[in-house]
Amino acid sequence: MSETTENADLVQDGLDRVADVARFLKLSPSTVYGMMDRGLLPYVKIGKARRVPHRAVVELAAGNLVTRAPE
């Protein structure tokens, strides 16, 4: 699968505003911007606005899910 196709798949579930991502993850908007700047969270830039694929937000949360206490 090409990178363009993978990117299209990532955004097909919709794009969220930074404020919505922050609210969903219970983080500050500045933390979300930092995650984007460090490459931890992909985003689309349209003009000056940044939008985050909703699927990327869900995958980020799922990838950091702790299911047992650390030893």
pLDDT tens track for 43-60: 999 999 999 999 999 999
Tokens of 33: 């911007």
Beta carbons of 53 and 13 less than 8 angstroms apart: yes
For tokens 């404020």, what's the residue?
19
**pLDDT band with cut points at 50, 70 and 90 for residue 1:** low
Q: What is the pLDDT of residue 69?
A: 74
What Rg do the C-alpha atoms of the chain give, in angstroms? Answer: 13
Does residue 10 carry a pLDDT above 90? no
21-46 pLDDT tens trace: 999 999 999 999 999 999 999 999 99
Its pTM stands at: 0.82
Tokens of 13: 């579930």
Distance of CA 15 to the CA centre of its chain: 9
Question: 16: exposed, middle or buried (C-beta count within 10 Å: 0-12, 13-18, 19+)?
Answer: buried
